[in-house]
Amino acid sequence: MNLDALFKISHGLYVTGARDTQDRLIGSCIDAVMVIETSPAQIMISLEKNSFTCENVLISQKLSLSVLPVDTPDDVIRNFGMQSSKITDKWKNVPYHLYQNLPVLDQAPAYMTLVITQRIETATHWVLLCDVQAVEPGSMAPALIYADYQNRKRKENKMTESKKWVCTVCGYVYDGEVPFEELPDDWTCPLCGEPKSVFVQE
C-alpha cells in the first residue's frame, strides 16, 4: 500500500475561524473540505481531534471557512497550520475581517460560515457535516489546490538542495552527474587541478 496515491484525490487548502470559550479568535489550516450539496448548501469538513480549534468548535457548534488563494504565502499556511491557537493569536498576523462575527481572510476567493449538524468520530479526526449559514465570493484569485501547493514545496526544496559547488581557486562550477559529495577524495578540479577541499557550496 502506498498512501502517496491518496494525494491524487485533489482538494484545496482552507483556514477555519472560530471563537473559543473566552470569545478569543482562533483558527486552523485544514485540507479536508467537501461540498456535499448546494440546495440546501451543506459542507463536510474534517478537524484534527486534538487541536484547540476543534475542541472549541465542538462547543460553539459554528465556524468560518476561508478558501486560500493560489498565491497564499507560506507563512500564512505555517501561521495557521504549525502552531496552536491556545497560545498564539493567529489572526493578528494576517489581514482579516469579521463575517457573521467570525474571522475570515481578506484575500480569500470565497468565505463562509458553517453550523455543525452532525459529526462522526474517527481515530484522529472529527468529521463534521455542516449547514452553510452564509457564503460570499471574495477576491478574484483562483483557489489554491493542495497538490499544486505540494508540488511548489517539492520544487523549492529541490532548488535549495541543488546548490552549486564552486572551486575557490579558479571559479569552476561542478555540474557532473555524480553528486559532489560522492566524488572520490582524490578527485581534483578539472580546470586548475586543486583538490576537492577547495570547493565551496554557493
Q: What is the closest distance, in whole angstroms, from the C-beta atom of residue 187 to Fe ion in the complex?
A: 12
3-state helix, strand, coil in the chain (%, to 5): 25, 40, 35
Binding mask 114-153 for Fe ion (x = CB under 5 A): ----------------------------------------
Residues 160-199 binding Fe ion (CB under 5 A) are: 167, 169-170, 172, 189, 191-192, 194
User: Smallest distance, Å, CB 199 to Fe ion?
Assistant: 8
Considering the complex, state which of residue 126 and residue 199 has its C-beta at the smaller distance from Fe ion.
199
Toward Fe ion, which CB reaches closer, 32 or 198?
198
Of residues 15 and 189, the one with the C-beta less far from Fe ion: 189
Q: How many CA atoms lie within 13 A of 154 on its CB side?
A: 6
Closest C-alpha among 111, 121, 128, 133 to residue 41: 133
Look at residues 29, 23, 75, 28 and name the one whose alpha carbon lies nearest to residue 52.
28
